[in-house]
Amino acid sequence: MSALAVSPALAPGKAAPYVIAAYAVFLAIVLIYVAIMARRLARTEKDVQQLKRELDQRAAAAEHKDEREPVL
Amino acid sequence: MTTFGRGLRTLVLATVLTIIVALALVFFYAPLDADQGFIQKIFYLHVPLAIVSLCGFVFGGLLAIGHLRTRNRAWDMRSYVAIHMALIFGVGGLITGSIWAKASWGHWWDWSDPTLTSFLIVLLLFATYQPLRFSIEDPERQARYASVFAVVAAAFVPLNFIAVRLAQQFVHPRILTLGGGNLPGSMRLTFLVSLLGMALLYATLWKYEMTAKNARIQVRRLRRSLLGDDSVRPLGRSAAPS
C-alpha cells in the first residue's frame, strides 16, 4: 500500500500554508535569479559607459594633438 | 544586444501570460483532488519543475554534442547555461517536492522511493558539472571535458527514468503514462498549461542569460579591439569564450 493511500487529505486550512510555501519558494528562486542577472546587466552597462568615456577621451586627445601640429 | 536578445520580449510576454493563465487554472478551475485535497495544488508546480529540469539536462547534453562536433565554443556556452538553468529548476522541484511530501506523507523525504532518490542522484550528478568545469584552467580543455561530461550525464537521465518506471516499489503516484494517464480532463489541461508555462520560463531565462553573456563578450571584444587593452578583466569563473 502506498503512503499516499494511508495519508488522509489535509483540510484546506491546514494545507494552505504548505501550498503557499511551495509557490513562495518558486517565486523566490525566480526573483533571486532575476536580481542576480539584473546586477550583472548593470555591470555590463557600466563597462559600456566606461568604454564610451575612454573612447571619447581618446578622440578628444587626438583632436587636440592635430590642432597643435604646425601647418607646413 | 538587440541582435542577441531578438525575440526575448515576445518570449517574456508569452511566459508571463501562460503562467498567469496556469495559476488561474490551478486555483480557480482545476477541482480539488479527492484523496489529497488542496495540497494537491503543489502538483501543478512541482511536477512541471522536475520535468523541465530533467529536459533541461538532456537539452544541455544535446548542445554539448554541438560543441564536440563543431569545436565552436558558443555551443559550450549554450550547454553550460542550459545545465545551469536546469539545476536551478531542479532545486526548485526538490524543495517544492519536499514541502508536498511533508504535508502529504508527514516527512520531508522518503529514501525508499526510487523517484525521489533517482532525481536527487541526477541533480547531484549535474551539481558536479560546475566544480569539474572550473577545476580546469585551459579554456579549450575546460569546454571539451565539460561537454563530454554533459553528454554522458544527459544520457543517464532517460536511463534513470526508465529504471524508475520499471521499479515495482514506489510511493510516488504514477499519474502520467503513455496511455494518457489517469488525470481527469480539467486537471490534465491545467497540468499541461502549467508545464507549458514552466517550459517557457526555462526558455526565457535561458535566452536572457545567453543575451547577457553575449553582450558581456561583445563589450570585452570591443574593448580589446578599440583600445588594445590588455587589462581587460579576466574571465574568471565564466564559460564565456573570450
The complex scores an ipTM of: 0.83
Q: What amino acid occupies position B172? A: H
Give the residue-averaged pLDDT of B208-213: 90
pLDDT of B239 over the 70 cut:
no
Contact: B49, A26; criterion CB under 8 Å? yes
Name the domain count of chain B. 1
How deeply is B98 buried, as exposed, middle or buried, from its count of CB atoms within 10 A (0-12, 13-18, 19+)? middle
List of chain A residues whose C-beta atoms are within 8 Å of the C-beta of residue B56? none
Residue with cell 563589450: B219
- CA separation (Å) from B18 to A22, A24, B35? 19, 18, 28
Contact: A19, B222; criterion CB under 8 Å? no
Q: For the segment B12-63, what is each residue's pLDDT rounded down to a tens digit? A: 999 999 999 999 999 999 888 888 888 889 999 999 999 999 999 999 999 9
**Residue B237 belongs to a domain:** no
Residue of B41, B105, B170, B200 to mutate, interface with A, max A Cβ within 10 Å: B41
| Host domain of residue B189 | 11-169+181-202
pLDDT of B182 over the 90 cut:
no
- For residues B119 and B93, what is the distance between their CA atoms, to the nearest angstrom? 10
Give the model's pLDDT for residue A6.
Answer: 47
Give the model's pLDDT for residue B172.
Answer: 63
pLDDT > 90: what percent of chain B? 51
**Residue B210 belongs to a domain:** no
List of chain A residues whose C-beta atoms are within 8 Å of the C-beta of residue B45? 22-23, 26
Residue B46 Cα to chain centre, angstroms: 13
Give the model's pLDDT for residue A50.
Answer: 87
Higher pLDDT, B175 or B194: B194
Contact: A22, B222; criterion CB under 8 Å? no
Q: Name the closest residue on chain B to residue A41, using Cα atoms.
A: B212
Give the model's pLDDT for residue A1.
Answer: 37
User: Minimal CA–CA distance to B40: which of B194, B164, B177?
Assistant: B194
Where are chain A's structural domains? Answer: 37-67
**Residue B124 belongs to a domain:** yes
Confidence of residue B240 (pLDDT cuts 50, 70, 90): low
Give the residue-averaged pLDDT of B188-212: 94
Cell of residue B196, nine digits: 507549458
Terminal CA-CA length for chain B: 17
Residue of B20, B25, B42, B107 to mutate, interface with A, max A Cβ within 10 Å: B42
How deeply is B65 buried, as exposed, middle or buried, from its count of CB atoms within 10 A (0-12, 13-18, 19+)? middle
User: Minimal CA–CA distance to B219: which of A62, A61, A59, A40?
Assistant: A40
**Helical segments of chain B, H only:** 8-24, 43-70, 73-105, 114-127, 129-134, 139-166, 185-227
- Cβ atoms < 10 Å from Cβ of B158: 11
Q: Is the dihedral of CA B23, B24, B28, B34 positive or negative?
A: negative
- Cβ atoms < 10 Å from Cβ of B28: 8
Average pLDDT, chain B: 86
List of chain A residues whose C-beta atoms are within 8 Å of the C-beta of residue B227? 51, 54-55, 58
Residue with cell 547555461: B81
Give the model's pLDDT for residue A61.
Answer: 84
Greatest mean pLDDT among A4-8, A42-46, B57-61, B140-144 lies in B57-61
**Residue B215 belongs to a domain:** no
Question: What CATH number does residue B144 fall under?
Answer: 1.20.120
CA atoms within 13 A on the CB side of B142: 19
List of chain B residues whose C-beta atoms are within 8 Å of the C-beta of residue A44? 212, 215-216, 219
